[in-house]
Structure 1
């Protein structure tokens, strides 16, 4: 049997599909299992021992409605002659694309009637963790999901782990309690959400100062797009920073070594949760029941203020926020600090 998983990307969303990949492999040890994914996010799957092939495509085909490249992709996949496809995005265009791939069995989500090109549909209403929604798709092949086997996976190699060890040595972190902070992220390609899921930078500064006063070391982690945030923080607070200096998997290796990680509701949050059981996440417009890390030692903070959650089933929310992000603004430094301290001590 030849199986294809199909997702446009987003690092966090892709990581949440890894329990599905693992359970597919457990049930179909001799199947060919390939993953078709946007080139922005494919690295999170590199080295995944449960996959046979990773096939990359340009997400702009869909975001910019490039009909010519879309047709090329369709004919490319048709030639590979798959038996089953798991459509992991919810928009009807991906279901139609799967139909045009010529794959007989098409398993995916029916979000308010958008599943008409599928042969097996899982109704999608939100308010359940995305990992469990992905696992529900297994029933399309007659498999009962194991909801206790939910941990996300990213496969780090020796080079990634050696990088983290070297970084710890070079920055004298070995004898310190290290709080990893990911102050950025929360921006998906093709989605302009105007930083709605980010906690205020001034509060991050205050948090870092209070952590340093209590003897913690702080390590900033993030990508090149977070450099402006790094500059703002380092103007006022001295701490170690790896922002913009690491690959995706090097960042994961650093997150793995932290005693606790603090994140916005973002891709880095899921990356941290894939390698670290102590993640403190900050939620605002999204309901935490849908995406918060599932480890018992992980915690989240969320203030229900009347207008949130405002992300709808289509991932849309008011932009700009008419209430000036009061859901995240209500989260105070002291209460987050207490959660961090309690999480470290567990």
Structure 2
């Protein structure tokens, strides 16, 4: 077996999830294993992963400038003969690269092309960005050949007891394999419908004969007190296990979108101010992205919108479009 590599991706939820398929690909093709450095909130994502040798969780205290400097030196001393793969590429990880004594690998975020496309909307820059999604960009750190997006979809390795426990939980609330999971939340409000619209949508799909349940984390659950609203009631891995029993997930551009992909559940994703060009899209063979192309779109990398924006991009996606996507295999 080759020497395990140290791989760094600290955050965010979706970005960390996108590394799991890349790690799985490297493990399957080269038998490479990795010491994963990530924020403690996301460490559980890598549990039971065959490509993961160890998980090194980073606390908020570690991220303090002086503490991070000490951590970098301690990590170098602990893994003196391990190559470093930086899949975060920011000032903090540049510090780690600076002190590292073995080989260092990194990747291009295509930041210049993202800025140029955001400013000009020119097809030249669009095509360059669409040539590789984020996992394909990640894999360029070590691999000269670029696999297809479907070969690099996220992968979480659930344990049998996690899957069976989720099945029991769903049985208790009267949910099963034909249920549609819905994630109606977003870090930035512009990336999803309003809560009123989600409630209207759920009434709409109920009339179409669909069964549903809610997943995610939010201060204001969509249907507080209802059994089928699992908001704030499941951990990351528990949510993944619940999703593994569902027919599909409907969501905005979000972390749970990648979590569903990681357990093999079909995704129907609503894209508003963000865009497929940024590379953070679900890439399963049966996944579907719904997007209204406007002159002002995309207007944001992470989903923040201007105060003058009326959110036409997300609000123009109709209920009928979502139902049609659900029916399309």
Category of TM-score, reference length = shorter chain: 0.7 to 0.9
Count of aligned residue pairs for this structure pair: 308
Q: CA deviation at 1:320?
A: 4.2
Listed as ranges, the matches of 1:50-61 within 5 Å are: 50-59=51-60
1:266 aligns with 2:254: yes
Indicate yes or no: 2:40 matched with 1:36: no
Match 1:68 to one of 51, 66, 73 = 66
The counterpart of 1:216, out of the listed 210, 217, 225, is 210
Q: Which residue does the alignment assign to 2:221?
A: 229
Equivalent residue in structure 2 for 1:197, among 187, 191, 201: 191
Mark the CA change 1:335 to 1:246 in structure 2 (over 3 Å): closer, same or farther.
same
* Displacement of 1:332: 2.2
CA RMSD of aligned residues (A): 2.4
Q: CA offset at residue 91 of structure 1? A: 2.4
Residue of structure 2 aligned with 1:287, choices 256, 264, 275: 275
The CA deviation at 1:318 is 5.2
Deviation above 6 Å: which 4+ runs of structure 1? none
Tell whether 2:4 aligns with 1:6.
Answer: no
Is the counterpart of residue 133 in structure 1 residue 137 in structure 2?
Answer: yes
* C-alpha distance in structure 2 between counterparts of 1:5 and 1:19, whole Å: 13
2:309 maps to: 323
Q: Do the aligned partners of 1:10 and 1:40 also contact (CA within 8 Å) in 2?
A: no
* 2:184/2:193 contact within 8 Å kept: yes
Deviation at 1:90, TM superposition (A): 3.2
Preserved CA contact (<8 Å) 1:203 1:333:
no
TM-score by length of 2: 0.84
Are residues 162 and 318 of structure 1, via their aligned partners in 2, closer, same or farther at CA, if it must alter by over 3 Å?
Answer: closer
1:299 aligned residue: 288
List gaps (5 residues or longer) in structure 1.
Answer: 114-124, 188-193
Gap change, CA 1:329 and 1:321, over 3 Å in 2: farther
Alpha-carbon offset, residue 93 of structure 1: 3.8
Distance of 1:319 and 1:261 partners within structure 2: 25
1:32 CA displacement: 5.0
2: CA distance between counterparts of 1:169 and 1:112? 46
Distance 1:199 1:47, change over 3 A: same
Whole-angstrom CA distance in 2 between matches of 1:5 and 1:134: 11
Change beyond 3 A, Cα 1:32–1:282: closer
Indicate conservation of the 8 Å contact 2:175/2:213, yes or no: no
Q: Which runs of 5+ in 2 are unaligned?
A: 113-127
Q: CA deviation at 1:25?
A: 2.0
**CA gap 1:60/1:108 in 2 versus in 1, 3 angstroms:** farther
**1:179–1:216 CA contact under 8 A, matched in 2:** yes
Note the alpha carbon deviations across 1:61-98, whole angstroms, 9 max, x for none: 55xxx221111211211112143111111324423322
Go from structure 1 to structure 2 and tell me whether the alpha carbon gap of 1:21 and 1:195 turns closer, same or farther (over 3 Å shift): same
Between the aligned partners of 1:61 and 1:153, the Cα distance in structure 2 is 27
CA 1:43–1:321: 2 relative to 1, 3 Å: farther
Aligned-pair CA distance for 1:153: 0.6
Contact 2:213 2:229 in 1 (8 A): yes
Cα distance, 1:337–1:35 mapped onto 2, change above 3 Å: same
Q: TM-score, normalised by structure 1?
A: 0.81
Compared CA separation, residues 246 and 318, structure 1 to 2 (3 A)? closer
| 2:154–2:261 CA contact under 8 A, matched in 1 | yes
Quote the Cα distance in structure 2 between the aligned partners of 1:339 and 1:111. Answer: 30
